[in-house]
Structure 1
Amino acid sequence: MLPSQNRLRRREDFAKVYANGDRFRGSHLMLRVLVTQAEPDIKIGIVVSKKVSKLAVSRNRFKRQLRAIFRQVLSQLRSQLKSGLQIVVTVTTQGQPNYQQLCDDLMILLKKAKVWQNGS
């Protein structure tokens, strides 16, 4: 579970990120990033639709894996991330990528989105 201060929860917050955020597409994931000055914390939301899998077990597995990846990123690299980020990760793949493939895809997308302090 992500810490409470790092979760994106409300429908309005998701809608704001979808409407105003920048999009980055990977092989398994799509990342939407919105930089806000109002909130200093990094907020993360994870979306897995029924188009990806009709089985709740599969959708929940994706969410668990992505939360674990974000926990690792936040614990190790929090000081290197920009503040005020709102991130929504959407799983777009029909297949069943493993944990390492999801992790690699997410890290590539975070670099594309330039969410690091030094811009890379």
Structure 2
Amino acid sequence: MGLPKINRLHRRDFQVVYQQGFSRHSSHLKLKALPARGNAGIEEGQQLPASQFGITISRKISKKAVARNRVKRQLRAALRQLLPQIPRGWKMIFVVKPRATECKYEHFLRELEQLLSQAEAIDGH
């Protein structure tokens, strides 16, 4: 099961995040994030839009689609678990580094928490 549709980053937004967002790194992942822009374009009484996420994994990571898809599924599952802690309005892209194919779900969950706290998207522990 993937991310809810409202939390998926649209194709046209990837370039905006790459150009305007900031980066954080861990051993297996790179985060490009663009925080909410205050109340720009939001009318009184409305909330910020839901946070949106994208995952990028190159063919350089693995030639086999099976391996790339397994990594994406594990990342999506970890993101779903952390979703309630992430405030609204963020746009984030997770870029997978080459050694990530050997990671398990728990490792991705720890790295995502670490990256999100470095980006100040969630409170650090």
Q: Same fold (TM over 0.5)?
A: yes
Segments of structure 2 that go 5 or more residues without pairing to the other structure are 42-47
Q: What's the TM-score, normalizing by structure 1? A: 0.86
Tell me what 1:4 maps to. 5
Instruction: Give the one of 53, 68, 71 matched to 2:62.
Output: 53
In the alignment, is the contact (CA less than 8 A) between 2:30 and 2:97 conserved in 1?
yes
Give the letter for the 1:91 counterpart: V
| TM-score, reference length from structure 2 | 0.83
The CA deviation at 1:93 is: 2.6
Q: Is the 8 A contact 1:27 1:93 kept in 2?
A: no
Preserved contact between residue 22 and residue 34 of structure 1 (Cα < 8 Å)? yes
RMSD over aligned CA atoms reads 1.5
Q: Say if 1:33 and 1:85, in contact at 8 Å, map to a contact too.
A: yes
Query: Percent sequence identity over matched residues?
Result: 40
Secondary structure of 1:87's counterpart equals strand
Q: How many residues align?
A: 113
Query: Where does structure 1 lack aligned partners over 5 or more consecutive residues?
Result: none
Stretches (4+) displaced over 2 A:
36-39
The aligned amino acid for 1:23 is: S
